[in-house]
Structures are given as structure tokens and as C-alpha cells.
Structure 1
Amino acid sequence: MKKKLILTILAIVAFGIFGYCYVWYGGARNVSAEDAVFNVTSKSIIAEFDADIDKSNTKYLEKAIAIKGIVSKADQKQVILDNTIVCDLKELDPAIKEDQEITLKGRVVGYDDLMGEIKLDECTVINND
């Protein structure tokens, strides 16, 4: 009986350590290497979020998407498309200019309903028209 108890406790501890290491050291997600789950325009995705936030969050949140729009503002590490999509870039791309059409791929991290903005991170340039 005592042997079974010790083996059970050791098994639980081993699974706990494995789970901890898996979660903590599992590696960072590389969105640029992933295929985009959805290809959308900035206007269409904003319309979806305005219509139904919960449904859109379920559909897009934490997923890699390709999004096309006109650059409203571009600075060191951030691009804003059509004044509504805020994209944090992985690396600075000096070729990005305001008022140009561009397609970016990134991970949707959320929708700010107060500002009416969708936020993406780990963005990379797919197409710089």
C-alpha cells in the first residue's frame, strides 16, 4: 500500500514538472512562419467586429490573419491601417509609406470597442503594393 502511494505521488510530481516545463519552455509562437487562417480587408473585419464582437472574437482572436488596407500612419514599430487596425511589427520596414496599400500578416490580440480598433502583434509585410 505504501509503495503504491509513493509511486502515485511520484507520477503526479513528474506530470506536474513536465507540464510546467512544457508551458514555460515550449517555445515562442512564430506567426510569420504560419499560414494565415483568414485573408481579409481592414474594412470588412471592422464591420464584422462592429456587428458582433463576441462572434468575431471567437473567429479571429489569437489567430494569424492576413489583412489588407491603406497605411494611415507608420512609425518605428507600428503601422495603422485605415485608422482602425493597429499592427505592431516584428521588425522595422522602411519601405512602408503612408497612403500606400499594403498586406500584413499578424496575430489578432484583441478589439478595443471604445476606440473601435483591432490590435495585431508580430506583424510582417506580405505584400507592399
Structure 2
Amino acid sequence: MKKGILVIVVLVLLGGVGAYFYVFNKPHRDPSSETASYQISAEEIVSDFRNNQEAANEKYVDKVVEVSGTAMEITDSYIIMDNILNCTILTGHDVSGIQAGDEITIKGRVIAFDDLLEEVKMDNCIKL
């Protein structure tokens, strides 16, 4: 009887260790290699969030989206489009050729809509 309980405890521990390593060692998601769920302008996506944030959250958040608009501010780590879309650039991706005022299309994952600033936040963005 004690031997059976010991075997069960050992199996449960091995299963727990296996699950731990599976969950914490799986590769990170790479939105830049995924196909975009939507192709939309910066004005349209922000308008969707302003009109019905709950529906827009369901539609866009955690999805890869291609967004077109005018680059307003550019650094090595982010691009602001039309003063309403903040895109964090994917590490190692070069955006040096973009100038303020350029019409660009970016692809990235939508994180959230900031109610206070009324802007959409995206990460892992790349210029197309």
C-alpha cells in the first residue's frame, strides 16, 4: 500500500516538473512572421475603439494587424502614427529610413487602447 502511494507521488512530481519545463521553455510568439488578421488605417482602428471599445477589444487585441498612416515621430524603439497609434518596434528591426510625414504601413500585435490618450498601443512592429 505504501509503495503504491509512493509511486503515485513520484509520478505526480514528474508530471509537474515536465509541465513546468514545457510551459516555461516554449518559444515566444513572433507576430512579425504571422499573417495579419486585419489591414486597416490608423484612423479607422482608433475610431473603432472610440465607438465601441468592448467590441474593438474583442476584434483587435492580441491579434496581428497591418496599419497604414502617417509617421509623426520616429525613434529606434517606437513610431507614432497620426498622433493616435503608438508602435513599439521589434528589437533589431531597422526603421532608420522613415522620416516624419512619410506614409507607412506597419505590422504588429495590438496590445490595448489607452482611454486617457485615446491611442492604440502596438508592440513587435515592423515596417512593411
Structure 1 length-normalised TM:
0.89
Structure 1 match to 2:84: 84
Structure 1 match to 2:5: 5
Distance 1:78 1:17 in 2: 39
Tell me, which stretches of 5 or more residues in structure 2 are unaligned? none
Distance 2:87 2:111 in 1: 10
- Does structure 2 retain, via aligned residues, the 8 Å contact 1:86–1:120? yes
5 Å-filtered alignment, 1:10-29, equals: 10-29=10-29
SS in 1 for 2:20: helix
Structure 1 match to 2:39: 39
- Does structure 2 retain, via aligned residues, the 8 Å contact 1:71–1:81? yes
Fraction of identical pairs, as percent: 29
Pairwise CA distance, 1:12: 2.3
For each residue in 1:13-60, what CA deviation from the matched residue of structure 2 results, as whole angstroms up to 9, or x when unmatched? 222222211221111111111111111111111011011112211221
Pairwise CA distance, 1:113: 0.6
Pairwise CA distance, 1:74: 0.9
Distance 1:74 1:85 in 2: 12
Aligned alpha-carbon RMSD (Å): 1.4
For each residue in 1:58-93, what CA deviation from the matched residue of structure 2 results, as whole angstroms up to 9, or x when unmatched? 221111111111111112211011101000111231
Distance 1:14 1:73 in 2: 52
Structure 1 match to 2:30: 30
Distance 2:103 2:3 in 1: 68
Structure 1 match to 2:96: 94
Counterpart amino acid of 2:19?
G
- Does structure 2 retain, via aligned residues, the 8 Å contact 1:77–1:92? no
One of 101, 105, 108 as aligned partner of 1:103: 105
Counterpart amino acid of 1:18?
G
| Number of residue-to-residue matches in the alignment | 126
Counterpart amino acid of 1:67?
V
